[in-house]
Amino acid sequence: MTRLSVNINKVATLRNARGGDNPNVLHVALDCEMFGAQGITVHPRPDERHIRYQDVRDLKPALRTEFNIEGNPIPRFTNLVCEVKPTQVTLVPDAPDQLTSNHGWDTRAHLDELTDIVTTFKQAGIRTSLFVDPDIEMVDYAARTGCDRVELYTASYAEGYKADREAAIAPFVKAAEEARRVGLGLNAGHDLSLENLQYFHQQIPWLDEVSIGHALICDALYLGLHETIRRYLACLQ
């Protein structure tokens, strides 16, 4: 079964716009779990413009499902992850001022540093995933780091879905097959939505997890959080 992990960054963005604690990030995360989500994802950035480092500490003891922390493994992030010990850490090559994730790792160029940080997290008992573009070579070099999974960056799929979904999915199927061949687990995320998720899952049914935030939270404004999660889960059946 492919797990749905809800990224709650946008909830924190709304909270931070006015200060205070409304909406409450922890409350929303627990509601997502209650409504059927099998995981919670956060991506704390150095400027804490949405999820704060303290949010990560507050969430860990309260969550009942898998906890996934995403981010660039700068020392502060690495220390936080080793302190909190989530189920999974997903390493993303974001610049400090980057608006949102827009590319995967060049796992060949960064092989040595990624191997070192993957070793650090795995020694702490944390499942480790690398954010990669749908490129067979990047998947192969990811496997050489010793990581457990790769997460395919799905923005190009979402962008091409309406025009030609078969062409849009093709490189992802190849990358997913390569991940399976080299023994890596498989996650996917970025711009997946109610429009394009079901087809993606149909073509790559061995996905372990999808991480969805922006589209899901937007849908919840119209449908309500409970109904929205129900519909996303239905796409993964």
Which is nearest to 132 in space by CA: 115, 114, 149, 153?
153
Half-sphere exposure of 68 (CA within 13 A, CB side): 30
Dihedral sign (CA 232, 153, 149, 165)? positive
**Burial class of residue 95 (count of CB atoms within 10 Å of its CB; 0-12, 13-18, 19+):** exposed
Paired with 210 in beta bridges are 4, 188
Amino acid at 15: R
What stretch of H or E contains 117? helix 111-123
Dihedral sign (CA 70, 84, 185, 136)? positive
Neighbours of 154 (CB within 10 A): 25
For the annotated catalytic residues, the residue numbers are 43, 70, 190
Q: What are the distances in angstroms from CA 144 to CA 135, 138, 149, 175? A: 15, 10, 11, 15
3-class DSSP state of 146? coil
